[in-house]
Amino acid sequence: MSSLSEFHLLSILAQEMNMRKAAERLFVSQPALSQRLQTIEKDWGAKLFIRSQKGLSLTPAGEIVLQFAQEMLAKEEKVREAISSLDAEVYGTLKIAVASIVGQNWLPQVLKKFVSRHPQAKISLITGWSSEIAKALYEDQVHIGIIRGTPDWKGVKIHLFQDTLNLVDTEIMRPEQVLETDRPFIQFKSDSNYYQEIQDWWLRNFQTPPKRTIIVDQIETCKQMTFNGIGYAILPEITLSGGEENIFKIPLLDEDGKPIKRDTWLIGYESAFQLKQVQAFIEIIKEHLESSTDS
C-alpha cells in the first residue's frame, strides 16, 4: 500500500511529465526519484510511466493509480483542514477562484493582509472568467469564488462592491465623439454578460457599430493600448487607479441617466464557510472594504 508521500510523488510526476523537473520540485536527485518510482511500480505490480525522449507518459495502469492517488491526497487535505479547525491558529490551504480582473486589481491588497496576519496558512489561487469560477466551485476544486456580475448561485453569496464602467481615451471627451474618430474601439475578451452590457449601452446611444474594432485577450493589454492612444475602450473603474495622466474617463449611463455599475460577489457552499481559513479571509475582506469606504 503506497503512502501519502508516494501519492504526492506520483502527482508531481504526472503534473510535470518530466523526471528532471519532478526531481527539482521534490528536492531529490533524478536517480533517487527513479529508484523510488521503480519501488512504487513494484508494489503495484505494474508499469505506471513510460519514458521517452519527449518525457514521461502514463500507462493505462498509471492513469488508474494516479486517479486513486489524487483522491487520497484530496481526502488527506480535508482531514488536515478538519484537524486545523480545532486549533485557534489558522492553518490549511485557502483555495480561491477569482475573476481575473479582480485578481489583478483588487485581491492582492487583501491577500497581503491575510498572509501577514496568518503566516501558517497557504493560498491556492485560480483566476479566470466568472463562468469558470462557478465550475470550479461545483467540482469542489476551491472553497470560495469571487465573481463579477449578478450570480445565479443558490449557495452563500456576499456582495463585496460595485464599480462603474467608463469610456476611456486620450482624446474623446464626450461619448458621441466615438462616431467621429477613426481610431479603433479596443475590447478585451470577457464573459458574455459583460459584452451584453456594453452592447446594450452602445445600441441605446448609437445606431451604427464602431468603425473599427480590435479584440485582445487580456484587459491589461486593452488598458495599455488605450493609455498609449491607440484607440478607446470601455473599462471598469476597478482597473483605473485614479492617478492616470492625460486620460479622459466618461462614466456610462443607463436609460435613467445613472452610472452603469458592475457588481462583485463572493460565493461558496455553506460547508466551506465553516473552515477557519475561509472565516479569517472573509474577516479581512470586511476590514478592507470598511477601510476603503472610510478613506
Provide the domain count of the chain: 3
The model's pTM is 0.70
Residue 51, pLDDT > 50, answer yes
**What confidence score (pLDDT) does residue 284 get?**
95
- Residues 275 and 198 occupy one common structural domain: no
**What confidence score (pLDDT) does residue 1 get?**
43
- Residues 136 and 276 occupy one common structural domain: yes
**What confidence score (pLDDT) does residue 2 get?**
61
Residue 120, pLDDT > 60, answer yes
**What confidence score (pLDDT) does residue 86 get?**
65
Mean per-residue pLDDT of the chain: 89
What dihedral do alpha carbons 56, 36, 25, 11 form, nearest 10°?
60
Domain finish residue from 31, 55, 84? 84
- Owning domain of residue 139: 93-158+263-294
CATH code for position 146: 3.40.190.10
What's the pLDDT band for 292 if we cut at 50, 70, 90? confident
- Residues 178 and 241 occupy one common structural domain: yes
**What confidence score (pLDDT) does residue 87 get?**
64
- Residues 171 and 258 occupy one common structural domain: yes
- Residues 248 and 181 occupy one common structural domain: yes
- Residues 152 and 267 occupy one common structural domain: yes
CATH code for position 44: 1.10.10.10
What dihedral do alpha carbons 35, 39, 41, 47 form, nearest 10°?
40
Q: What is the average per-residue pLDDT within 6-10?
A: 91
Residue 277, pLDDT > 50, answer yes
- Residues 35 and 174 occupy one common structural domain: no
pLDDT in tens, 122-178: 899 999 888 789 889 988 899 999 999 888 888 899 999 999 999 999 999 999 999
CATH code for position 230: 3.40.190.290
- Residues 215 and 269 occupy one common structural domain: no
